[in-house]
């Protein structure tokens, strides 16, 4: 049994902390929201009075927070002050690469081992313990990080040095965001051309248009029964979350002078979707916008 601090018990963190407790670890939990803390205690965690108090005497500290500014503040003001020397610090939030590298530098300078370890798999994966972790860390630290992450994971891959985990996450989600738009555009066009969308799905799934957005997460209801399109685009991966990741990708591209024009277009289209009131819906609702069926624009 290892004493692990878990800070940030929201949609993702609550399931992850519960899986660590279920694996027999002593999980010292903290969240600013009292209701989140209560849920964690009900799942077998121990409530701490602050992030710093949770980190005290912990062998490992895991954070699952909204954005870079929260992560910088929690490490600078609390964790680096109170965690014991040599503790393993793992930030699983999705944040900007620069914040990840800055916290890693501070943590190393203070004598800690640090990893950025963002995840893919969503709330369902967090609850089920089947997340994919993309880890940026010193090579020598990876086995110890892997051991801590295992109860929450199906896949754990070292992406490279500090910041590489965040880089992998935003590059992957840029592909996903753009590929979903391409698939939605194709369905909207197929419909207008009088081609049965389900027949189009069958053909494209076996042709060069095949991709994850089409065959595992189809935005047209029917062909993939588990996809959010069958549930009125509820649950799944929210438009607002996709928008956050695409903004991070554009910031990262600008910081290194990389051209990512399709990512920029995708960011603009998801921003429009959010403006139309769909920020909380699954991102595959892009199909409804491209069919002219959102925001009072319905044609039929």
* Interaction site with ligand NAD (CB under 6 A): 7-13, 30-33, 36, 51, 64-66, 70, 74, 93-94, 119, 122-123, 237, 241, 244
CB of 8 or CB of 221, closer to ligand NAD: 8
* Residue with nearest beta carbon to ligand NAD: 10
DSSP string spanning 234-300?
A: -SSSBHHHHHHHHHHHHHHHHHHT---HHHHHHHHHHHHHIIIIITTSBGGGHHHHHTT-STT----
- 24: alpha, beta or left, given left = phi > 0 and alpha = psi -120 to 50? left
Q: Is 244 a catalytic residue?
A: no
Closest CA to 250 of 260, 242, 240, 262: 260
- Selecting among 108, 169, 192, 281, the annotated active-site residue is 169
CB of 65 or CB of 145, closer to ligand NAD: 65
CA pair distance 45, 248, nearest whole angstrom: 32
Q: Min. distance of Cβ 39 from ligand NAD in angstroms? A: 10
CB of 93 or CB of 179, closer to ligand NAD: 93
CB of 131 or CB of 186, closer to ligand NAD: 131
Q: 119-120 and 131-136 as β-strands: parallel, antiparallel, unpaired?
A: antiparallel
Q: Look-up: residue for tokens 């121990």?
A: 46
If DSSP codes are grouped into helix, strand and coil, which group holds residue 221?
Answer: coil
The catalytic residue positions are 169
């Amino acid at each position: 049994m290892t004493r692990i601090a878990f800070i940030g018990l929201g949609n993702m963190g609550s399931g992850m902390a519960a899986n660590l407790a279920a694996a027999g670890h002593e999980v010292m939990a903290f969240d600013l929201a009292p209701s989140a803390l209560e849920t964690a205690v009900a799942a077998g965690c121990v409530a701490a009075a602050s992030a710093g108090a949770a980190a005290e005497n912990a062998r490992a500290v895991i954070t699952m927070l909204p954005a870079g500014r929260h992560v910088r503040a929690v490490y600078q003001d609390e964790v680096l002050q109170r965690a014991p020397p040599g503790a393993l610090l793992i930030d699983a939030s999705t944040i900007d690469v620069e914040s990840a590298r800055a916290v890693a530098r501070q943590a190393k300078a203070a004598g800690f081992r640090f990893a950025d370890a963002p995840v893919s798999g969503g709330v369902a994966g967090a609850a089920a313990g089947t997340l994919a972790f993309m880890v940026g860390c010193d090579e020598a630290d990876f086995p110890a990080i892997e051991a801590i992450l295992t109860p929450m994971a199906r896949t754990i891959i070292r992406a490279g040095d500090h910041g590489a985990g965040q880089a992998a996450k935003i590059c992957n989600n840029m592909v996903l965001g753009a590929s979903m738009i391409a698939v939605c555009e194709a369905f909207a066009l197929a419909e207008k051309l009088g081609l049965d969308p389900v027949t189009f799905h069958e053909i494209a799934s076996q042709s060069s248009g095949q991709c994850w957005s089409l065959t595992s997460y189809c935005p047209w209801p029917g062909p993939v029964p588990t996809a959010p399109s069958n549930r009125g685009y509820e649950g799944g991966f929210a438009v607002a979350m996709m928008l956050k990741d695409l903004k991070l990708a554009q910031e990262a591209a600008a910081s290194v002078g990389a051209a990512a024009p399709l990512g920029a277009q995708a960011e603009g289209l998801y921003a429009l979707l959010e403006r139309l009131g769909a920020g909380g819906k699954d991102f595959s609702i892009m199909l409804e916008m491209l069919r002219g069926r959102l925001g009072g624009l319905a044609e039929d």
